[in-house]
Every structure is written in structure tokens, then in C-alpha cells.
Amino acid sequence: MQDTIKNGSLANDDIGLETRLELYRLQVEIRDCEKRAYDLFLQNLVKGTSHLSLGQEAIAAGFAAAMGPKDKSFCTYRGHAHTLARGVPMEKVLGELMLRDNGLMRGKGGSMHLTSAEHNVLGSYAIVGAHLCIACGSAWRAQYQGHDDVTVCFFGDGTTNIGAFHEALNFAVIWKLPVVFVCENNLYMEYTPIDDVTAVPHPAADRASAYGLPRILIDGNDADEVMRTARAAYKLAREGGGPSLIECLTYRHSGHSRADPGKYRPPGELEKWLERDPLKTYRARMAEFGISPDAVAAIETESKRKVDEATVNCKAAPPASEHLLTADVYADGGWAWRN
């Protein structure tokens, strides 16, 4: 432990050494795994589209590090980061993207449907806004059964203009549900700037007051700020104080999906946000707190080892079987079309 600290003290740090190292580990592993997913896509080993969270890692890391093991996560189609942050192994995620039998759903779900009940990741949802009302159901179950787990629902800025967003917020407030809604505002709803089509500057935070909720707007690229905000929201929910709506300002480094080069972004915008890269920010933060470069390097080295091992195993794994792919397509367990 002492070898990790160099020329500094964490005595007055509310995050703490172990948690700070964990936050950095999560961000690095998410970044390395998603970069590898992109490389595998270029090798034609990832089929279909997928949506990366490069540049948004601090949100997944901060909220996951503050969660209890029984808390529930609901994700969007950009859900790799949140799935990894809850402890799902890289091999399970990459295997699913590659439609291999060693994947999280044995290759049947693919990139946009990552789900792991074991890790309390209750789905990634391809339909925009669909999961907000389902998250309310999860929170209502906890409230009804007297459990103390909190449901956390992540969504993009574009979801704030979907009807389900307003329905879910209204329902959550009326019933004082233990649910935390997290808007990842990366400035673009697919290819359209969110501020071009929204009546308020901050699509989630500026609408909170309509539901009697406080306006919470944070730097989504600062894992410490994210975690502190998450802790407060979880505490409120567990104590019966009801839901929170949190808007995290961030930026995706790549396009909306693999097929999107992002040419609609104005010149210089990406470069400006790259200076606020969450990993770059956090490395500097750790140096300020006296964490040694060797400790940082060890995390980075181990992450690369994990992603390399996962890649080898996924390439060697067989594809999903025809029997698996054709099972349970319809309620009768089969796949044959009927009128």
C-alpha cells in the first residue's frame, strides 16, 4: 500500500486510495476493451453495428464504483461500458460482440442487448427510451418488497425528447421510487446536435423542476465528481427520498456508431474535448494525490493483458450454434413463422 503513494497524502480525500485506483482501473479497462472492439470490427470479426463509449468512461466508472452489489443497472444500446463496469469479464463482452458461444448471451444478443442478471445488469435496450419505464418497475419492486437496492437507469440526451422520459419521471416522483436517472449528454442525438431540437440548454437538468426534482448538472468527464454525485443520489433513494435526475456533460470521441465518421461535428470541437479526456484528467488527478506512476502503469499493463487474453479466447471460440439462434424466437420456443 505504501509503495502506491509518493510525495503526497490522501488523508483528507473522501474518495480514498483504494477507490481512486478502482476508478482508474475501470476507466482504463473500458477504454482498452472498446478500442479492441473497434479493431476487431475492422477485421470483420464484429458483425452488425455497435456503439462505443470512448470518451464517456468516467460516467460508467463513477456510478458503478458507488453502487452496492444488489443495485440494478439499465443501459442503452451504448451499454458496453456500463456492463464492464459492473464486473462482467471482457471475454463475455467481446465474445458477444463477435457472436461467439463464449459471449454473455452465447452470441445471440449481440452488441446492443448485453444483459447479465448475475451482475445485476438488467439489459441494454436498442429502443430509445424504452427502458426508463422498465427501470421504474424495477424500483417499484424494491419498494414493494422492502429491499434496499437502487435502480440506476442510463440514457442519452436524445431520450429526453421521448415521451417515455417524461412518463417515467412523473411516475417515479409520484411513487417516490428508489431510482436514479442518469442522462449522458454527449451533445449529439445520433447525428443531430441536441441543442438544435430542444427548448432548453440542458435537456435533462433544465426539466427537473417540472417534476419537483433539483437541477443536477455535473462534469461527466470527472470520475470523482460523478462518484460523489452518485453516492448522494443512492443515499437519498435508499432512505426513501425518491428519485434523482442527473445530467452528465460528456463527449463521445467517435461517431454515433461504427458506420459514422462524425463529419457533422464543427472543426476543433473534438480536439477541444480530447483535452478533457477522462483518462487524461484522472491520471493528472492521481499524480496530484501522490499516487506513484508505477501503480498507474501496473493498472494499464494488467488491462492490456486482460484484453489480449480475452481476444485470443474469443477468436478461438465457436460461433453461436444454429440450434441456439433459432430457439425461443417465439413464445412456443421455436422460430417458424405463423399467420
Q: What is the mean pLDDT of the chain?
A: 94
Amino acid identity of 231? R
pLDDT reported for residue 113 = 94
In 66-110, beta strands by DSSP E = 72-76
CA angle 80, 181, 213 (to 5 degrees): 165
Q: pLDDT band at 334, cuts 50/70/90? A: confident
- Judged by average pLDDT, the poorest of 186-195, 297-306, 327-336 is 327-336
SS3 state at 156 = strand
As given in the structure block, the three cell numbers for residue 294 are 508505477
- Judged by average pLDDT, the poorest of 12-16, 192-196, 261-265 is 12-16
- CB distance 157 to 217 below 8 Å: no
In this prediction the pTM is 0.94
Q: Which residues does 324 contact at the CB level (< 8 Å), separation at least 6?
A: 101, 106, 107, 108
Chain centre to alpha carbon of residue 61: 8
As given in the structure block, the three cell numbers for residue 332 are 412456443
As given in the structure block, the three cell numbers for residue 194 are 441536441
CA 74 – CA 180 distance, rounded (Å): 10
Mean pLDDT, residues 178-189: 97
Mean pLDDT, residues 89-118: 95
What are the residue ranges of helices labelled H in 186-265?
A: 223-238
As given in the structure block, the three cell numbers for residue 63 are 456510478
Residue 75, judged by CB atoms within 10 A of its CB (0-12, 13-18, 19+), counts as: buried
pLDDT reported for residue 250 = 98
pLDDT reported for residue 306 = 98
For 277-325, write each residue's pLDDT tens digit. 999 999 999 999 999 999 999 999 999 999 999 999 999 999 999 998 8
Of 35, 76, 60, 108, give the one whose Cα is nearest residue 310.
Answer: 35
Residue 6 has pLDDT above 80, yes or no: no
Q: Phi-psi bin for 336: left (phi > 0), alpha (psi -120 to 50), beta?
A: beta
Mean pLDDT, residues 185-190: 95
pLDDT reported for residue 159 = 97
As given in the structure block, the three cell numbers for residue 2 are 505504501
Residue 220 has pLDDT above 90, yes or no: yes
Going from the C-alpha of 279 to that of each of 92, 129, 176, 331, the distances in angstroms are: 24, 29, 35, 45
Ordered by where they begin, the domains of the chain are 2-313 (3.40.50.970)
- Dihedral of CA atoms 26, 28, 31, 32 in degrees, nearest 10, equals -120
Residue 123 has pLDDT above 70, yes or no: yes
Contacts 24+ apart (CB under 8 A), 316-319: 317/95, 317/98, 317/100, 317/101, 317/102, 317/103, 318/100, 318/101, 319/99, 319/100, 319/101, 319/107
pLDDT reported for residue 7 = 39
Q: Is the dihedral of CA 226, 57, 104, 154 positive or negative?
A: positive
For 19-78, write each residue's pLDDT tens digit. 999 999 999 999 999 999 999 999 999 988 889 999 999 999 999 999 999 999 999 999
Residue 3 has pLDDT above 60, yes or no: no
User: Percentage of the chain surpassing pLDDT 90?
Assistant: 87
pLDDT reported for residue 329 = 87
Q: pLDDT band at 12, cuts 50/70/90? A: low
- Dihedral of CA atoms 309, 315, 316, 321 in degrees, nearest 10, equals 130
CA angle 162, 163, 164 (to 5 degrees): 95
